[in-house]
C-alpha cells in the first residue's frame, strides 16, 4: 500500500477524531523513526510520552517475544507471577503499597476517582462526594476522567458529565482553600499539567494543597500519567513538589508502548475496597506486566532515571539558549525530558516546519511546542534536535538574535 492508499482507506473507515500529520510511520530505532518512503525523523514526542525506552528497545522486544511464546493473558480470575512484582516496584518508587492495573491513563484516573468515592462511601458519608480539579487540567476522556478535565471543547458535546466537580485555578491558594470542605472527597492534580501547556505547579501551590488536604481530610490524587515514572528526572513529580498523595495514576511510559496503566493507593484507601468493587478483563495481564517490569528495571537498576537527570539538564540549558536567541519564544517550562516552549502565537507552523526538517515535536494548548522524547535520548540527539529547532524557528518566526 502507498501512503495515499492508506490515507484514503482511513478516510473511509476510521472514525475521524484525529487530525493526523501527513506521514505514515513504519519503523523505529531508539529516538529515530522512519516513514513509508524511508525518510528518517528524530522523535521528540515518543508516541506522546509512551515509547519511554525508545523504539525497538532490544531488551523490551526480547521480553515481549518471550512472553508471547509463554503466556500472554490468563485474566484476573487466577494468579500469575508478574503482577505483584510490578506492584512491588511501583510501591517502592511511589510510597503507595497497593496497585490496581488497567490499560490506559484514563482508566487509571477513573480508578483513582472511584477509589476515593469508595472510601468515603464506606465511612457512611453519603455527602462526601465532591472532587476539586484544576483549570487547564487533562485527565482523560471517559465520563469520570472527562468530568475532571477542564477543557470545554472536550466537555461540552458530552454534557451532562459526572456532577460534583469544581475547578479552581492552579496557582491560587486562597481559592483552593475556600473551595474545599468536609464534602470534598478528593483533589486531583497533575504535578506538571501536560496537555494544559506543560505547566509545573508551584511550590507555593503545593503547600496549599498539602494544607487543604490536611485541614479537610480530602484525598490528594496525583495524575502522573504524563509527568511520572522518571520523565522529569524524579520517579514522580509530586516528590519534587514535596507531596505524598493518597492515590496516583500512571500510564504512558509504564509499558514502553504496550498499553498498561495503574492506580496506586495508600493502605487506608485500599482498606475500603471489597471483592468486585472494580475490575478489568485485560488489566495487568502477563504481556503488560512483563513490559512494565522491563521498563521499571531499566529505570531504576539500569540507571535510566539518573540518565534523565543528566540529559534533562543538558536539554534545559540548550532550550534556555534557544529562548535567548528567539524573541518568538516567550517562556520555557518543564523538567527532565518534559518541556514546553511557549510561543507568542500559534505553534502549528513551527511544528509543521520541524516535521519538514525531520524533527517530530507537537503542539499543545495552542501556543506551546511540546517535547516528550524517549527517556533514553542522548545528549548528541538533543543537540541535533536543538539545531533543527533553531533553523525551524528562524524559518517559521522572524527575528532571531545572532
Ligand X SMILES: *Cc1c(COP(=O)(O)O)cnc(C)c1O
What residues line the site for ligand X (CB under 6 A)? 104-106, 109, 138-140, 190, 194-195, 223, 225-226, 251-252
DSSP state letters, 343-401:
ESS-SHHHHHHHHHTTEE-EEETTTEEEE---TT--HHHHHHHHHHHHHHHHHHSS---
Among 101, 142, 72, 85, which residue's Cα sits nearest to residue 279?
A: 101
Q: How far is the CB of 116 from ligand X (least distance, A)?
A: 16
Q: How far is the CB of 77 from ligand X (least distance, A)?
A: 25
Q: How far is the CB of 221 from ligand X (least distance, A)?
A: 11
Could you give phi then psi for residue 267, rounded to 5 degrees? -60, -35
Q: How far is the CB of 93 from ligand X (least distance, A)?
A: 18
Specify which residues 254 forms β-bridges with. Answer: none
Considering the complex, state which of residue 139 and residue 318 has its C-beta at the smaller distance from ligand X.
Answer: 139
Considering the complex, state which of residue 201 and residue 393 has its C-beta at the smaller distance from ligand X.
Answer: 201
Among 312, 315, 334, 313, which residue's Cα sits nearest to residue 386?
A: 315
Cell triple for 14: 476510521
Considering the complex, state which of residue 149 and residue 212 has its C-beta at the smaller distance from ligand X.
Answer: 149
DSSP H helical ranges for 50-126: 58-68, 83-94, 105-122
Considering the complex, state which of residue 185 and residue 225 has its C-beta at the smaller distance from ligand X.
Answer: 225
CA atoms within 13 A on the CB side of 102: 21
Report the SS3 class of residue 89: helix
Considering the complex, state which of residue 41 and residue 138 has its C-beta at the smaller distance from ligand X.
Answer: 138
DSSP H helical ranges for 140-285: 143-147, 152-155, 173-179, 203-216, 237-240, 267-270
Q: How far is the CB of 109 from ligand X (least distance, A)?
A: 6
Q: How far is the CB of 249 from ligand X (least distance, A)?
A: 7
Q: To which residue does cell 480508578 refer?
A: 111
Q: How far is the CB of 261 from ligand X (least distance, A)?
A: 6
Considering the complex, state which of residue 194 and residue 334 has its C-beta at the smaller distance from ligand X.
Answer: 194
Q: For ligand X, which residue has the nearest CB?
A: 105
Considering the complex, state which of residue 260 and residue 293 has its C-beta at the smaller distance from ligand X.
Answer: 260
Amino acid at each position: 500500500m502507498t501512503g495515499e492508499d492508506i490515507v484514503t482507506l482511513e478516510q473511509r473507515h476510521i472514525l475521524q477524531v484525529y487530525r493526523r500529520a501527513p506521514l505514515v510511520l513504519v519503523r523505529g530505532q531508539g529516538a529515530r523513526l522512519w516513514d513509508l518512503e524511508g525518510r528518517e525523523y528524530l522523535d521528540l514526542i515518543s508516541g506522546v510520552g509512551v515509547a519511554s525506552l525508545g523504539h525497538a528497545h532490544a531488551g523490551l522486544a526480547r521480553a515481549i517475544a518471550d512472553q508471547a511464546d509463554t503466556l500472554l493473558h490468563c485474566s484476573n480470575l487466577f494468579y500469575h507471577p508478574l503482577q505483584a512484582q510490578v506492584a512491588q516496584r511501583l510501591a517502592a518508587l511511589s510510597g503507595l503499597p497497593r496497585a490496581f492495573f488497567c490499560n490506559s491513563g484514563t482508566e487509571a484516573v477513573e480508578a483513582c476517582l472511584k477509589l476515593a468515592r469508595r472510601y468515603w462511601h464506606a465511612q457512611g458519608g453519603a455527602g462526601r462526594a465532591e472532587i476539586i480539579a484544576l483549570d487547564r487540567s487533562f485527565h482523560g476522556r471517559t465520563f469520570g476522567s472527562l468530568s475532571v478535565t477542564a477543557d470545554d471543547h472536550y466537555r461540552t458535546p458530552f454534557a451532562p458529565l459526572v456532577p460534583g466537580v469544581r475547578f479552581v485555578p492552579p496557582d491560587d491558594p486562597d481559592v483552593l482553600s475556600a473551595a474545599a470542605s468536609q464534602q470534598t472527597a478528593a483533589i486531583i492534580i497533575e504535578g506538571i499539567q501536560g496537555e494544559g501547556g506543560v505547566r509545573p505547579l508551584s511550590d507555593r501551590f503545593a503547600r496549599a494543597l498539602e494544607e487543604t488536604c490536611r485541614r479537610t481530610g480530602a484525598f490528594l490524587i496525583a495524575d502522573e500519567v504524563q509527568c511520572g515514572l522518571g520523565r522529569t528526572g524524579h520517579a514522580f513529580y509530586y516528590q519534587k513538589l514535596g507531596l505524598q498523595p493518597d492515590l496516583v495514576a500512571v500510564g504512558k511510559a509504564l509499558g514502553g508502548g504496550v498499553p498498561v496503566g495503574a492506580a496506586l493507593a495508600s493502605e487506608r484507601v485500599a482498606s475500603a475496597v471489597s471483592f468486585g468493587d472494580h475490575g478489568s478483563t485485560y488489566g495487568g495481564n502477563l504481556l503488560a506486566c512483563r513490559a512494565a517490569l522491563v521498563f521499571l528495571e531499566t529505570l531504576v537498576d539500569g540507571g535510566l532515571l539518573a540518565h534523565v537527570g543528566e540529559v534533562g539538564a543538558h536539554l534545559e540549558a540548550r532550550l534556555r539558549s534557544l529562548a535567548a536567541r528567539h524573541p518568538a519564544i516567550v517562556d520555557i517550562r518543564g523538567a527532565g525530558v518534559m518541556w514546553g516552549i511557549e510561543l507568542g502565537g500559534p505553534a502549528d507552523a513551527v511544528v509543521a516546519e520541524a516535521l519538514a526538517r525531520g524533527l517530530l515535536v507537537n503542539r499543545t494548548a495552542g501556543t506551546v511546542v511540546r517535547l516528550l522524547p524517549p527517556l533514553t535520548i542522548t545528549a548528541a540527539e538533543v543537540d541535533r534536535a536543538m539545531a533543527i529547532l533553531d533553523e525551524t524557528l528562524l524559518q517559521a518566526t522572524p527575528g532571531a538574535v545572532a
